[in-house]
Chains A and B, each alone.
Chain A
């Protein structure tokens, strides 16, 4: 069965420091991968996605992610974190079976805290 694992439940980084959030997936074929961010009391906002092609994808707010098939990973990175980046981050994979386009399998999320 498909699954997504985010090993880090909570990460704290200093403002201006670099960030890497880990995501591992289990999937039979080429996965459709997503990173979403959720601020307190809000819905999910799409940061970036990978469907095919270049394995390094750029997203909004200065985020990027790299797809590594050999490691079944899709880690999210940002070179310099801002206090406004404090939020919860979710990695997700699109359902493998056809006709399940509305279904995403989410990881448990990583809560990011930013120290001044």
Chain B
């Protein structure tokens, strides 16, 4: 079956702009999580969506937001971009077990460069 699909794969923006990234989960997976990966901070959890609701959130400013649609597809948005937002943004889907015994399948990521 198809894996997790993220679009776009690469994008370049300038400071102050906003960006929207998309994630299509594996069929049947109801949870979508987003992570930011940078050389300095590593992999950091942004938020998780389940049944169109944000189930939990990491320690990021309000400029980072997301949503999930009824077909489980998810988008994340970053407003007022800063240079430090340059990163690989990874989406992961799962069967949405509430405990940590939950296997995440990751997409290839969206590489955002902010100039």
B106 in contact with A106 (CB, 8 Å): no
Is the pair A94, B100 in contact by a Cβ cutoff of 8 Å?
yes
Of the four ranges (under 10, 10 to 19, 20 to 34, 35 or more), the interface on chain A belongs to 20 to 34
Cβ-neighbour of B100 out of A43, A45, A90, A93 (below 8 A): A93
Give the CA-CA distance A37 to B68 in the complex, in Å.
Answer: 27
Known pairs A102-B104, A106-B42; A32 contacts B56 (CB<8 A): no
The A-contacting residues of B in range 58-115, CB under 8 angstroms, are: 58, 90, 92, 94, 96-109, 111
Which chain A residues border B31 with CB–CB below 8 Å?
Answer: 101-102
Residues on A with C-beta less than 8 A from B109 are 42-43
Does B43 reach chain A (CB closer than 8 Å)?
A: yes
Name the prevailing secondary structure of the B interface residues.
strand
> What CA separation (Å) do A113 and B74 show in the bound complex?
35
Q: Does A13 contact B (CB under 8 A)?
A: no
* Residue A44 CB within 8 A of the other chain: yes
B99 touches A104 (CB 8 A): no
A23 to B44, CA, bound (A): 18
A58 contacts the other chain (CB 8 A) = no
16 new A-B contacts, CB < 8 A, other than A34-B103, A102-B104, are A43-B90, A43-B107, A44-B92, A51-B101, A94-B100, A95-B100, A100-B55, A101-B98, A101-B101, A102-B31, A102-B45, A103-B48, A104-B43, A106-B42, A106-B43, A109-B43
